């Protein structure tokens, strides 16, 4: 080999770029089997919220007992308790044209009853998930080992104005924080739109139409179970023996229905937040 060829060979070997081995070099490219963030499907997360806490499991146990009472004593006054326990979602089956009482033969009636039972259990699962979301929020807020935010350095130049505003409206800020889940997601906003339409139609029928008929059934079903208290309040405000105050009854019932709808919207919003929270990555 000539001296020029030998020199070029030595230069190529000394200036060759280093090779990275993915299994040994820590800075090399990630292995194809590296752990990636996995997200639970929302259905599995819903099931987890409905079964991972004692309050949620207790609610499901009460619902199962009410179903047993409905099957064993169908003529008792407690036969409708499963529908009340799964309100307000269970009342949506009243609007649908397919359910108990559907005519069309044995197979159609059995399918309608099976559909209604499945819908009832789904409503119970959603309500249990709402209770589980509340329980999970309270436990995560006080869980040990969670990273706390670092203390902020006080800014005395801007602290004077903020202290005055905070001391002037502390309750207003607390109410806004409490009602925030009712308006910051599409699920709760859609439910509030349904409540507003039902209450608006009821007020129009009560004060404008000559015969309101059964217009009150819509806000009652949309805001149950709190609407039961709204009915009781309206009866106390405007009793039957005092017809002079009969005009107050629709207003009292509407106010109670709106408050009940706000409570339901907050609960639905918290459930939406829990379902939208990404699954925590496993340690290591």
Per-residue model confidence as pLDDT tens digits over 101-132: 676 677 777 888 788 888 889 999 999 999 98
Phi then psi dihedrals of residue 19, to 5 deg: -95, 140
Q: In 10 A of CB 255, how many CB atoms?
A: 15
What letters, b where the CB count within 10 A reaches 16 and e where it falls short, cover 10-36? eeeeeeeeeeeeeeeeeeeeeeeeeee
Find out whether 22 and 29 touch, Cβ atoms under 8 Å: yes
* CB hemisphere CA count around 186 (13 angstroms): 2
pLDDT tens across 177-203, in order? 888 888 989 999 999 999 999 999 999
**DSSP class of 244:** G
Max CA separation in the chain (angstroms): 123
Do 274 and 137 touch, CB atoms closer than 8 A?
Answer: yes
Band (pLDDT 50/70/90 cuts) for residue 149 is very low
Contacts of 217 (CB under 8 A, 6+ apart): none
Confidence of residue 54 (pLDDT cuts 50, 70, 90): very high
Instruction: Measure the CA–CA gap between 223 and 257, rounded to whole angstroms.
Output: 6
DSSP codes of every residue in 33-94: T--------HHHHHHHHHHSSHHHHHHHHHHHHHHHHHHH-TTSTTTTHHHHHTTTGGGHHH
Q: What is the pLDDT of residue 2?
A: 54
Contact between 229 and 256 (Cβ < 8 Å):
yes
CA-based nearest residue to 280, from 183, 186, 147: 147
This prediction's pTM: 0.68
């Amino acid at each position: 080999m000539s001296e020029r060829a030998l020199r070029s060979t030595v230069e190529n070997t000394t200036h060759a770029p280093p090779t990275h081995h993915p299994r040994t070099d820590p800075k090399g490219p990630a292995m194809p089997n590296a752990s990636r963030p996995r997200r639970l499907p929302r259905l599995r997360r819903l099931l987890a919220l409905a079964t991972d806490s004692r309050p949620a499991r207790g609610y499901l146990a009460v619902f199962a007992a009410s179903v047993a009472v409905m099957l064993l004593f169908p003529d008792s006054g407690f036969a409708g308790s499963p529908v009340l326990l799964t309100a307000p979602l269970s009342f949506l089956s009243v609007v649908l044209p397919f359910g108990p009482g559907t005519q069309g033969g044995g197979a159609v009636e059995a399918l309608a009853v099976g559909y209604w039972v499945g819908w009832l259990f789904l409503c119970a699962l959603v309500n249990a998930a709402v209770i589980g979301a509340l329980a999970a929020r309270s436990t995560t807020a006080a869980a040990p080992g969670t990273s706390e935010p670092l203390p902020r350095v006080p800014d005395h130049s801007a602290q004077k104005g903020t202290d005055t505003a905070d001391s002037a409206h502390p309750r207003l800020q607390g109410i806004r924080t409490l009602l925030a889940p009712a308006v910051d997601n599409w699920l709760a906003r859609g439910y509030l739109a349904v409540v507003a339409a039902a209450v608006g139609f009821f007020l129009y029928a009560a004060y404008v139409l000559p015969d309101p008929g059964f217009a009150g059934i819509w806000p009652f079903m949309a805001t149950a179970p709190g609407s039961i208290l709204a009915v009781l309040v309206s009866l106390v405000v405007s009793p039957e023996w005092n017809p002079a105050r009969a005009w107050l009854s629709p207003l009292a019932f509407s106010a109670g229905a709106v408050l009940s709808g706000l409570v339901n919207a907050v609960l639905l919003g918290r459930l939406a937040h829990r379902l939208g929270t990404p699954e925590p990555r496993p340690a290591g």
